[in-house]
Every structure is written in C-alpha cells, then in structure tokens.
Amino acid sequence: MRIATLADAEPLLAPFFADAAEERVIAVHLREDLTLLAVTFEQAGERDEVPLPVRAIAVSALRLDAAALLIAHNHPSGDPAPSAADEAATRRLADALRPLGVRLLDHIVFAPGGCRSMAAMGLL
C-alpha cells in the first residue's frame, strides 16, 4: 500500500480517531518508495491536548528503518484546523528527523467534521 497523498492516508487513519474522546497521535512509517511499513500508536492525551512525542516517534522510525513518515492526531472538539502549538510541534519533529535521514511528509489533523493536511496548507 502506497501512502503519497491525503487521499491515501485518510481512509487508513480515520478509524484510529473515530469516536475518540481524547486526542491521540498516530505515526505512519514508510519506505523510500512511500509504501507502508507500519502504523504506530504513539501517544494519548486529554480531550483538548496531546504532547507530540518527538523522541518516541524518532525511535519508532529508526527501529522500523523508515525513510519517511507522516503523523496524525485528532481534535475531538470538532475543528480540524491546526493550532499554533500543532505547527510548532510539527516543526520540532521535522527538525529532529531530518538529521536521521527521515522525511516528515505530512501532519494530518482529524476532527469529526473532516481533516486537514499541514503539507497541503503549506505549513510543512
């Protein structure tokens, strides 16, 4: 299974967030050709906040020998727009992964009303 676009990722990831009352972070690990290696559950948080576990995501990516990954989390509140904190955490993650040779392709925010791709919004 190749995960190259939001359209590829959305059906894979949406079930992880269906009816979730708390925010969750999921990582999708990919080979160089963007085929799926693994999907890992990285963190659960509160209803309106979840820390982005940069170190744990990097460890998972290295353990799986991923060349690229995308991450996703949810906003149970209903608004899929990334917050300023989401944007800052995504930049920190991308900066941490770069020297490890792992590309962060996207950060997708899911909500009951839809999802948003930070890459498509020009935030990555």
Inform me whether the pLDDT recorded for 34 exceeds 90: yes
**Nearest residue to 46 via CA among 27, 6, 73, 65:** 73
- What does pTM read for this prediction? 0.91
pLDDT of residue 104: 97
pLDDT at 20 over 90: no
User: Percentage of residues in the chain with pLDDT exceeding 70?
Assistant: 95
Backbone torsions φ then ψ of 44, nearest 5 degrees? -120, 150
What does DSSP say about strands 24-30 and 36-44: parallel, antiparallel, or unpaired?
Answer: antiparallel
Topology of domain 6-117, CATH: Cytidine Deaminase; domain 2 (3.40.140)
Mean pLDDT on 52-70: 94
Average pLDDT, the chain: 91
| pLDDT single digits (tens) 72-111 | 999 998 889 999 999 999 999 999 999 999 999 999 999 9
| Contacts of range 3-8, beta carbons closer than 8 Å, 24 or more positions apart | 3/28, 3/30, 3/34, 3/35, 3/36, 3/70, 4/34, 6/106, 6/108, 6/115, 6/117, 6/119, 6/120
